[in-house]
Structure 1
Amino acid sequence: MKTVTPGWHEVAGNLNFSGLEGWFALESAFDPSDTTRDFTESGERWRATISYQEGNLLPPDGGETPDGTTVDFETIREWRLTIKRHPDEDPVAEPAVGREGRQRFSAHVRPRWRGQKAEKKNGEVTDIPTPDALGDGLSVRVSGANIDPRRYFPLLRHAVTAFGVNAEHFGGIPGEDGYGPHETSNVQDAARYVRLDKRQSGPVHGRDGPLARMGHLLENDRTGYRKVVQNDDDDYGTNLPGYYHTVTLGPTRVAEAFPGHELAFEAKHYYAREAADRKPSEPLAHPKLEVAYQVSQMPGDFTLRWNDDGITQLQRELDRVIVSILAEAGLDVAPGDDGDEGPKRRGPFFRDSYWKPEVSEAGPDPVSLDFARIRDEQESVVVRHLADGGFSPVEWDIAETLVSDGGKVAPEDIAEENDRPLGSVYRALRRLDDFLERSREKIAFESPFVAEMVVDKVRQAREAGKGALETVAKTAEAQRRGVEETASAFIAWASKYDIDIENRDGARMRLRMSDDLSKDEIQRRIQRGFELWTDAGRDPATFRGALIDFGTGGSSAFYYLQ
């Protein structure tokens, strides 16, 4: 489908290469009086500088690596290349005043061999792990920004060639087997982003927006990794709503919101530190929505390879998260190009020096972040449970204990705290099983959303009883009027929005709802109801022909499903 195309921001990882010839070649080619060279790649001008550091790597024992390569050096130099867009072409570089551009990356070239060792400052000798599959080779740690990761490899080859080093030592000969970085090459960090017009980005970072809900809904309070940050004051104490809002999801929860995804990520809405002092016409006055791969949250045996498949997976998953957040926030993910905002703006987006909001014909399909699905599924479970007779006294005790504790609780603790027989607690837990999570003989609510919804009903029932009884009554009435229990998610949707359903045999279906809503909100609710109705296996024509009754008038549901 048509969607905006995010751009690459920061990228880091390891490009590995077989053999030590490239390291020897840099030793031979280095001229301390000539450390800067220019070159051209894909029609663009680039500049490379070279330096070295005398690190703490030790020569191999006996001057020979286990694979038989002679390394006749007492000091093992580690080479550093800085590869950047030529200052005459980098959009933000200002050579006259020495301002550096931001389209660049560094490459730290280190030799590797099996059994390699290094000496710490205190004299302690430590092992340097080297993949067995690599053997004698080079590990090039790359870290940069505003460059497609697919370009790091060819840019590195051009840079070493500019210093007189044969590019074959860095990835082989094009067209031959083995060309490219070694299979052990890996991605450690990568981010994609869009820049949003600050006048329209509020729904993204709102307290009930998609960032907040991702962390709130999908993470059990004390299971796995969850990080939610909401800071609306900049580093100088100036209030700037949305200044730094992030949510991080580990891989165990990512698939719940994004089916088919496996990469942990951090989604972030943030401004530059100096944003408050920038004019609205400047890009830095406007925030970024960025999604970054989080390698630290991945299992220890997982490696995201730096190859075509790995980069494609990375881009697909990060872009899908971005587009889904935008869609969930109600922003136009594919704005037209015929607005009157000027060349800097396009729909909710703001162009910057390295990214412009271009729309692709084959962008990722945004998911509803599965928030609606998960909420409806979880809500329908609670509603169905209440409709089946409500909570027993023991179940009330369990609910209140889980909410007040905020985490996982052993059944024995619940029994002791509430002076209940352990057997009755276990029987009640079996009845509550649909919305509880169990592990290691402890229990918790499936999500904070379920916890809040249940405790809401608990408190209402304890204090007045009205809320729970109304929900049960609405559900029971809906069932009497022809909505079977199989449509529990649809029932939950109607209960949530206070929509009265009438669907008598032979009569036109009627949905009574408030008209105190915008047309867009009414349309959004009706469209969601239609999805749940059809998901339950009901006849789509019945819903399309339903009368949406506002009390003072109404219209066909078909009108809202265009």
Structure 2
Amino acid sequence: MQLIETAPHEFAAHFLFAEHGLDPFFACDRRIKDGDGSQHAEFEFEGEPWNVTLSYRDSGLEHPGDQLPTGTDFRLAEMREFELNVKSGDDIAGERSFHTHIAPRWQGMRSKGGSTISVPDDLEEGVNLHVQGSNIEFDRYQSLIKRAARAVGINSRYFDELHDFSTVLDAERYVRVDKNESGPVHARDGPIAQLGHLLENDRTGRRKLVQYDIDESARDRPGYYHTATLGPHRVREAFPSHELPKEVKHYYTKHAVDLDSNRSIAHPKVGVSYQRSFWKDQLDASPNDIERLNRELEETLLSVLAEAGLPLRSGAGTYVEDAYFAPENSDRDRDIVELDFTQIKHRQESVVIKHLADGIAPTAWESLEVLVTDGGEVSPQDIADETGRHPGSVRRALNRIPDLVEREYGKVSLRSKYIADLVHDAVTEAREATRRAAEAGAKAIEAAERGLDQSTSTFIAWAAKHDIDIRDREGDELRLKFGVVDDIRRKLREGYELWTAADMPEDRYRMAKVQYKKEIDSGLRSIDKTETKSFASVAWHHLS
């Protein structure tokens, strides 16, 4: 199936080479001296012209003296590091390029400040290339480095074999979407917002959902910078075959508001980037891991576009060509993972419903109350201090509700923002029920003190218990204002029986105006919309 081609954007990595020790480093030093401080060259790679410059910079490393701790002679009078800058000769915009910082590595090396520099245990000597580039396919960087090195007189075989410790630091793939078509991506109920709310942890430092709709000059630009970032555990909830932490983003360039629509950069990018800081593992720079990186980024990007209802093929004016992205289709084998937010939502709802239905122990319930009302980081000890419970009791209680809370490094949090919302509603409803019960008791006592009979006081207490506001003023029709009810007819029938048992006018109840809130499907959360109807239109035939 032909699908839109995505384009590579940012890329950063540490390429470590150890097969030839420090030979590449010494070669850079010789070529710099041969060229009186720099070397410049041109070369061609896969039919495209490229320009390369080799230069040097001061080093922050301590000079090792005449000999390294490893025993290798070090005959350089001053400590330098080197830079290899490579740019496409065909790139008018000047953003198809990369910069490489070349630094030596040996066991026991130190900075000028005396700090020890970390070096992999199985590497005696080598060179580290910190690569940062953009708009180049990720699997081409190593080949381009080899060709660029050869062009400035350095043996390219030095860069044949990547050391296992080579690591990808950053990578992004994107498409550019017409600004009139991209709204569903960044909408409040769109895929970015839903990923952020449903799949991230609710505690500070873990959840990351950004929604900026104004630009750097405080001007309105809907969708200006919207992102949702997911760690490896959360990302698997949406993409079961994925593991890499990612950020999904919809963003405009600076000052896009001022640009005419016929300029490509007036339209936003929708991209997916690898987020190394969101996990403890690392992504190797090997060909297999680069392929894995591309697959996960593309599948995520295509799935987000599909969830937003955008076509996954070119045409129809959805996609906008720029200097590095061409809206063309490809027959490459790529999967679209269906983002079933309804299923994820129902799964999280069922977890909450299960625990509420089974009953939650008092200590666990108190812990949930603390979690939904405290905005910072919370530990079991914090909860114990807040509730007056023993820390051991809190820990045992939390262990009984693992589907609702997540515990990591002594901190406790609700598993997602959506679960937090559901639990917050449940806690609020429990507090309201307690308040209504107390109010019902107080009103029943008040009715008895006023000399009202048992039937009348029972009706008053029933209304208070169920949060029903009764307005029964002489000259006006009776009004019954309910909160959220699951069965309005049944509730009206209960009230009718208590009303008539108290010998109050039957016709007045039958002619009442009824107001009540509707419920969403889950039954746990209500929307603000209310219905106001005559009693007869709601339940007349049920009481006849």
TM-score after normalising by structure 2: 0.72
Pairing 1:495–2:521 present? yes
Identical pairs, percent: 42
What secondary structure does 2:521 align onto? helix
Q: Which residue of structure 1 aligns with residue 64 of structure 2? A: 60
Give the C-alpha shift of residue 364 in structure 1: 3.6
1:248-327 to structure 2, matched below 5 A, reads 248-299=229-280, 302-327=281-306
Check 1:206–1:127 CA distance in 2 against 1; reply closer, same or farther (3 A cut): same
Q: Which residue of structure 2 aligns with residue 186 of structure 1? A: 167
1:296-375 to structure 2, matched below 5 A, reads 296-299=277-280, 302-332=281-311, 334-337=312-315, 339=316, 345=317, 348-375=318-345
What secondary structure does 2:115 align onto? strand
Check 1:393–1:241 CA distance in 2 against 1; reply closer, same or farther (3 A cut): same
Check 1:398–1:303 CA distance in 2 against 1; reply closer, same or farther (3 A cut): closer
Q: Which residue of structure 2 aligns with residue 79 of structure 1? A: 82
Give the C-alpha shift of residue 438 in structure 1: 5.7
What secondary structure does 1:29 align onto? helix
Give the C-alpha shift of residue 204 in structure 1: 1.3
Q: Which residue of structure 2 aligns with residue 229 of structure 1? A: 210
2:24 to 2, 22, 25: 22
> What is the alpha-carbon distance in structure 2 between the residues aligned to residue 157 and residue 378 of structure 1?
51
State the one-letter code of the partner of 2:31. Answer: A
> What is the alpha-carbon distance in structure 2 between the residues aligned to residue 296 and residue 218 of structure 1?
18
Check 1:117–1:439 CA distance in 2 against 1; reply closer, same or farther (3 A cut): closer
State the one-letter code of the partner of 2:264. Answer: P
2:103 to 107, 110, 123: 110
Q: Is the 8 A contact 1:82 1:105 kept in 2?
A: yes
1:447 to 388, 409, 416: 416
The Cα RMSD (Å) is 3.6
Q: Which residue of structure 1 aligns with residue 446 of structure 2? A: none
Check 1:54–1:372 CA distance in 2 against 1; reply closer, same or farther (3 A cut): same
Check 1:226–1:437 CA distance in 2 against 1; reply closer, same or farther (3 A cut): closer
> What is the alpha-carbon distance in structure 2 between the residues aligned to residue 187 and residue 316 of structure 1?
15
1:41 to 41, 45, 60: 45
> What is the alpha-carbon distance in structure 1 between the residues aligned to residue 410 and residue 278 of structure 2?
25
> What is the alpha-carbon distance in structure 2 between the residues aligned to residue 235 and residue 396 of structure 1?
44
Q: Which residue of structure 2 aligns with residue 546 of structure 1? A: none
What secondary structure does 1:73 align onto? coil
What secondary structure does 1:241 align onto? strand
State the one-letter code of the partner of 2:268. Answer: P
Give the C-alpha shift of residue 405 in structure 1: 3.0
Deviation sequence 1:414-469 (CA, Å, 0-9, x none): 79978999999999989866545567898654322123234445656845686463
Check 1:165–1:199 CA distance in 2 against 1; reply closer, same or farther (3 A cut): same
> What is the alpha-carbon distance in structure 2 between the residues aligned to residue 27 and residue 6 of structure 1?
39
Check 1:381–1:44 CA distance in 2 against 1; reply closer, same or farther (3 A cut): same
Q: Is the 8 A contact 2:199 2:234 kept in 1?
A: yes
- For structure 1, which segment, 367-376 or 399-408, has the greater mean C-alpha deviation from structure 2 after superposition? 399-408
Q: Is the 8 A contact 1:108 1:142 kept in 2?
A: yes
Length, aligned pairs only: 443
State the one-letter code of the partner of 1:189. Answer: D
> What is the alpha-carbon distance in structure 2 between the residues aligned to residue 41 and residue 168 of structure 1?
17
> What is the alpha-carbon distance in structure 1 between the residues aligned to residue 151 and residue 388 of structure 2?
79
Give the C-alpha shift of residue 67 in structure 1: 3.6
State the one-letter code of the partner of 2:159. Answer: F
Check 1:459–1:154 CA distance in 2 against 1; reply closer, same or farther (3 A cut): same
1:469 to 486, 492, 497: 486
- For structure 1, which segment, 359-368 or 257-266, has the greater mean C-alpha deviation from structure 2 after superposition? 359-368
Q: Which runs of 5+ in 2 are unaligned?
A: 433-466, 469-481, 491-518, 525-544
> What is the alpha-carbon distance in structure 2 between the residues aligned to residue 335 and residue 229 of structure 1?
28
Q: Is the 8 A contact 1:256 1:370 kept in 2?
A: no
Give the C-alpha shift of residue 362 in structure 1: 4.1
> What is the alpha-carbon distance in structure 1 between the residues aligned to residue 45 and residue 337 of structure 2?
38
Q: Which runs of 5+ in 1 are unaligned?
A: 93-100, 172-179, 340-344, 474-492, 499-562
Q: Which residue of structure 1 aligns with residue 177 of structure 2? A: 196
Give the C-alpha shift of residue 78 in structure 1: 0.9
What secondary structure does 2:28 align onto? helix
Check 1:389–1:135 CA distance in 2 against 1; reply closer, same or farther (3 A cut): closer
Q: Which residue of structure 1 aligns with residue 463 of structure 2? A: none
> What is the alpha-carbon distance in structure 1 between the residues aligned to residue 29 and residue 296 of structure 2?
41
What secondary structure does 1:118 align onto? coil
> What is the alpha-carbon distance in structure 2 between the residues aligned to residue 210 and residue 423 of structure 1?
40
Q: Is the 8 A contact 1:58 1:75 kept in 2?
A: no
Q: Is the 8 A contact 2:57 2:81 kept in 1?
A: yes
TM-score after normalising by structure 1: 0.70
State the one-letter code of the partner of 2:288. Answer: D
Check 1:470–1:4 CA distance in 2 against 1; reply closer, same or farther (3 A cut): farther
> What is the alpha-carbon distance in structure 2 between the residues aligned to residue 226 and residue 328 of structure 1?
22
Deviation sequence 1:251-307 (CA, Å, 0-9, x none): 2322222213222222221100021111111111011112211222221xx221111
Give the C-alpha shift of residue 33 in structure 1: 7.5
Q: Which residue of structure 2 aligns with residue 403 of structure 1? A: 372
Q: Is the 8 A contact 2:38 2:55 kept in 1?
A: no
Check 1:38–1:395 CA distance in 2 against 1; reply closer, same or farther (3 A cut): closer
Deviation sequence 1:289-331 (CA, Å, 0-9, x none): 12211222221xx221111111011111111221222122222
Give the C-alpha shift of residue 114 in structure 1: 1.1
Structure with higher Rg: it is 2
2:147 to 141, 158, 172: 158
Q: Which residue of structure 1 aligns with residue 91 of structure 2? A: 90
State the one-letter code of the partner of 2:486. Answer: L
Give the C-alpha shift of residue 117 in structure 1: 1.8
1:403-552 to structure 2, matched below 5 A, reads 403-406=372-375, 435-437=404-406, 444-456=413-425, 459=428, 462=432, 463=467, 467=484, 469-470=486-487, 495-496=521-522
1:167-182 to structure 2, matched below 5 A, reads 167-171=156-160, 180-182=161-163
